[in-house]
Amino acid sequence: MYTIDEDAVLWSAAGEDREGRSLLLVLHGYGSNETDLFQLAPFLPLEPVIASLRAPLVAPFPMDGWSWYPVEQPGRPDHAGLEDSTSAVLSWLDTLPYTPDSVGLLGFSQGGAVAIELLRAAPERFSFAVNLSGYVSDLPQPGDPALATRRPPVFWGRGTLDDVIPAKAVAHTTQWLPEHTRLVGRIYDGLPHAISQQELADVRGFIERQL
């Protein structure tokens, strides 16, 4: 069973300042850690409390990196591992000593796949998701019909030079997201598997519209 290391969570606000505010869960990519996307906090709206989580698995490489699920090829997740990480994040949310006003998701690459999987697992618990350079698992989930009814807003951004996520995974995501969410899609010319300043500005505007 996967678990989220509570001591590794990075918060943008102290405990007494979290109540009565929205929560934004930040999920890093493969081989990274909780400090990576937390550095985006100054470029994001001030209203939500940010909680940056560390993935539960030690990645085989690079050193000091973490992984949400085993992966032999980007865009083809270990489905059992993806489900276990999803359950771990939901269980961590259940342990919070307060109830956030709302909960949004922001993930990069592998973390983006987890963000969408969380929407699929518990459509009623999340108000929106941001998927940066990520994709959607091709395994149908029981929550998909409910998600298609609820249709939460999702921002999906990727670059034209992203050679990490396979074309098949991108094609599936391109079809799947509009069928299950209110998609805001952006493609950034010349951007590799990374996040640009323009994309950050677009993400900030998207999140501000959801609050």
What is the structure's pLDDT at 193?
97
**SS3 of residue 1 by DSSP:** coil
Task: Confirm whether 25 is domain-assigned.
Answer: yes
pLDDT (0 to 100) of residue 79: 83
Q: What is the pLDDT along the chain (211 residues), one digit of tens a residue?
A: 899 999 999 999 998 899 989 999 999 999 999 999 999 999 999 999 999 999 999 988 766 799 999 886 666 677 888 999 999 999 999 999 999 999 999 999 999 999 999 999 999 999 999 999 999 999 999 999 999 999 999 999 999 999 999 999 999 999 999 999 999 999 999 999 999 999 999 999 999 999 8
Strands 128-132 and 153-159: parallel
Give the pair of three-digit tokens for residue 111: 């973390």
Domain assignment of residue 173, yes or no: yes
SS3 180: helix
Cα-to-chain-centroid distance, residue 48: 15
What whole-number distance in Å separates Cα of residue 118 and Cα of residue 84? 11
CB-CB contact of 120 with 203 (8 Å): no
CA torsion sign for 106, 107, 113, 115 is negative
Find all residues with CB under 8 Å of 197, minimum gap 6, and list them: none
What phi and psi, each to the nearest 5 degrees, are found at residue 173? -65, -40
Q: Computed over its alpha carbons, how large is the radius of gyration of the chain?
A: 16
**How many domains does the chain divide into?**
1
Establish if 1 belongs to a structural domain: no
Report pTM: 0.95
Rounded to whole angstroms, how far apart are CA atoms 173 and 178? 9
Is residue 66 within 8 A of residue 56, CB to CB? The reply is yes
In the chain, DSSP assigns E strands to 10-11, 23-27, 49-53, 57-58, 66-67, 71-73, 76-77, 103-108, 128-132, 153-159, 182-188
What is the CATH number for 108? 3.40.50.1820
Q: Which domain holds residue 203?
A: 6-210
131 occurs within a structural domain:
yes
The label of the residue with tokens 């990490």 reads 164
- Whether residue 170 is contained in a domain is answered as yes
**Is residue 109 situated within a structural domain?**
yes
